[in-house]
Structure 1
Amino acid sequence: MHVISWWSLAWCAIPVVLIAIVYARWSGKASEVLLSAARMTLQLIGVGYVLVALFDNPSPWITGAVLILMVSIASWIALRPVNHQRNYLKPTVIALACSAGLHLFISLVLVIGVETWYEPRVIIPLAGMYFANTMNAISLATERYHSELQEGKPEPKARLTAFQAAMIPQINSLLAVGLVSLPGMMTGQILSGVSPLIAVRYQIMIMTMVLGSGGCGAALMLWQLGRAQPSGQQTDNGMTDHKPADKDK
């Protein structure tokens, strides 16, 4: 496997600079892409050192704490399109944790058959992929659901439209894999010297679990939001408005 040096990695700044130039000429906000790229680099370097420590000292308590932290951050990021509405946070955490947790169990116990569930080398990479994809599905579903309600659409129609929108990236990735692209995990395994036929098995597991986790997460989120909708007339912001009944005079 080829090892990338830090000096060679510096060439990765070229695409960042190119996009920053586009930002600067078109919107005047080049700092957005530059800060995002810098944050990404620092986060990944920091995570790299943390993972090295976790891999050398596996612990169920530490692994559990990392998973809780990942769920919390992913839930907060998922609500960004709806301005982090507080009443959406609890259903987001429930949808993300339940959906990704179920598919982690299927992967670790039924498919891979690990002896210890908290092995960091296995559960953290898988959890990262499942949480990230489920987060995106929930985010898309929530934003579309909120928008549909704001436009005065009935709740069942808003729910269906939101779910279909959330599943577009999931379905597209299934249709394109192998023909248009080789997914990241499979590419990484092949570059590290693993047989493509072995890498294919892992990638099939990842793709199906991501599909299920994202779809179930979006569905569970929309189901909770639908139950939270009180009966009554919808207001301009898509929520329903209850008017207290007139008391007998």
Structure 2
Amino acid sequence: MPDTVIAISLPRLALAFLPVLATLAVFLAWTLDVRHPLYALLRMLVQLLLVGYVLAYIFGADTWWLILLVLLFMAGAAGWIALNTVPELRWRLLAHSLVAVLVGGGVTLLFATQGVLQVEPWYKPRYLVPLGGMTFANAMTAVSLAAERVRSELGHGAPWIEARNTAFQAAMIPVINALLAVGLVSLPGMMTGQILSGVSPLLAARYQVLIMCLIFAAAGLAAALFLAGARPVLAPRQPGDHGH
């Protein structure tokens, strides 16, 4: 029998903010701007408390159309946020970003949940929502890095093929670093959560292998789809690529 998850009461949760206050005190003592980290902490607190209530409702509803709506909202928000690195081109690149995140993340999510896990029913929110969040978030990061880097490379006069390849490699750096570090430098969040909830470390490791494959594929496919689709906007008439 797995161990029962340790419940955290609100007064005990408040203790977690004591070292936070110590860190904020450093900002004040060194006359640094404390408003930004304070805003980030307050926003984190509100967002996580709200998402807890939202997820409880979604999991309780257990309705396929609601789950699809949540996933589409995630993908849409990720596609929009991904273009924060190129705000001047946001509206021209938005469709390409949305397609890249939705297709790159959606295909890998579908493969993981219906091929590997074989979730029943297919829309089971306990699996689709957290896995979808991880998938679309990493697709978003890859698109964001690819957009910024390809824009920079083209701005420095690089031909399209060179700029595209450099941007793709840059977009994959965080994912590749995560693959190299997992299990050595850190235990990933999902694996840690499963172990804390009493799941066997061996089973948790298998789930984490699935997650890492999911993240790698979602990031790579999303970055590649974005770079391929956005070329007419970023480099509409640049010669010399010979159709590659």
TM-score between the two structures when normalised by the length of structure 1: 0.87
Q: Any idea what the Cα deviations from partners look like across 1:73-107, whole Å, max 9, x if unmatched? A: 11121111112621111110000000111011111
Q: Which residue of 1 aligns with 2:223?
A: 218
Q: Does 1:123 align with 2:128?
A: yes
1:16–1:34 Cα contact (<8 Å) kept: no
* Range moving further from structure 2, 64-73 or 8-17: 8-17
Identity of aligned residues (%): 46
Structure 2 residue runs of 5 or longer lacking an equivalent are 240-244
Rounded to whole Å, the distance in 1 between the matches of 2:140 and 2:41 is 20
Q: Does 1:66 align with 2:70?
A: yes
Q: Which residue of 1 aligns with 2:213?
A: 208
Q: Does 1:10 align with 2:14?
A: yes
Aligned residues: 233
Shift, 1:9, TM fit:
1.9
Q: Any idea what the Cα deviations from partners look like across 1:41-72, whole Å, max 9, x if unmatched? A: 11111111111111111111111111111111
Alignment-mate amino acid for residue 225 of structure 1: A
Rounded to whole Å, the distance in 1 between the matches of 2:19 and 2:228 is 41
Alignment-mate amino acid for residue 88 of structure 1: L
1:141–1:162 Cα contact (<8 Å) kept: yes
User: SS in structure 2 opposite 1:194?
Assistant: coil
Shift, 1:151, TM fit:
1.7
Rounded to whole Å, the distance in 2 between the matches of 1:87 and 1:122 is 34
Rounded to whole Å, the distance in 2 between the matches of 1:15 and 1:216 is 40
Aligned Cα root-mean-square deviation (Å): 1.9
Rounded to whole Å, the distance in 2 between the matches of 1:86 and 1:25 is 43
Larger relative contact order, structure 1 or 2 (CA cutoff 8 Å, min sep 6): 2
Structure 1 residue runs of 5 or longer lacking an equivalent are 234-249
Alignment-mate amino acid for residue 74 of structure 1: A
Alignment-mate amino acid for residue 131 of structure 1: F
Alignment-mate amino acid for residue 204 of structure 2: A
User: SS in structure 2 opposite 1:179?
Assistant: coil
Tell me which stretches of 4 or more aligned residues in structure 1 moved more than 6 Å: none
Rounded to whole Å, the distance in 1 between the matches of 2:93 and 2:30 is 34
Shift, 1:232, TM fit:
5.3
Residues 1:27 and 1:172: Cα distance change in structure 2 (over 3 Å): farther
Rounded to whole Å, the distance in 1 between the matches of 2:9 and 2:36 is 27
